[in-house]
Structure 1
Amino acid sequence: MDFETTVKERREDAGLTQAELADRVGVTRQTILYVEKGEYNPSLELAWQIAREFDARIEDVFDLPESTDPA
């Protein structure tokens, strides 16, 4: 599953419109639309804010592999 689908599904599961999510994270509805369509890669800050709205980790919302490198 790509991250665009994950963002849209989580938003819909949360009962939020694109405009409501956008308002909560401080961007325009169009930005959320473009993220969901895969036409815009969000900054780390925006990705973190979106994940926080879903009470989830960035890795889960944006389908990122977990790092296996030791710190």
Structure 2
Amino acid sequence: MKLCPSNPVREAVAANLRKMRAERNLSQEALADLAGVHRNYLGGIERCERNVGLDNLSKLASALGVTVAELVG
């Protein structure tokens, strides 16, 4: 099921974020703390409800130990 079929980039970020977070056994709250963002914001990104900005995308990638390009997929 596609969460945001009209925006494939947001869909890719959401899917990659969920996958990478799960691979690292991190809860949304733990990753949000590591990245310095609010957990509700992170959840919104994963559900494709929020459009993540570049600064926050960079924070999330850094917290996961990946590049922004890897996170965007």
Residue 3 of structure 1: CA displacement? 1.4
Let me know the Cα RMSD of the aligned residues: 1.3
Equivalent in the alignment of 1:39: 49
Equivalent in the alignment of 2:19: 9
From the two aligned structures, give the one with the greater helix fraction: 2
Runs of 4+ in 1 over 4 A off after TM superposition: none
CA deviations over 1:12-71 (Å, ceiling 9, x no partner): 1011000001111112111110010111111111100111112111011022xxxxxxxx
Which runs of no fewer than 5 residues in structure 2 stay unpaired?
1-10
Take 2:36 and 2:12, find their aligned partners in 1: how far apart are those partners? Answer: 23
Equivalent in the alignment of 1:55: 65
Which runs of no fewer than 5 residues in structure 1 stay unpaired?
64-71
Choose 1 or 2 for highest CA Rg: 1
TM-score by length of 1: 0.80
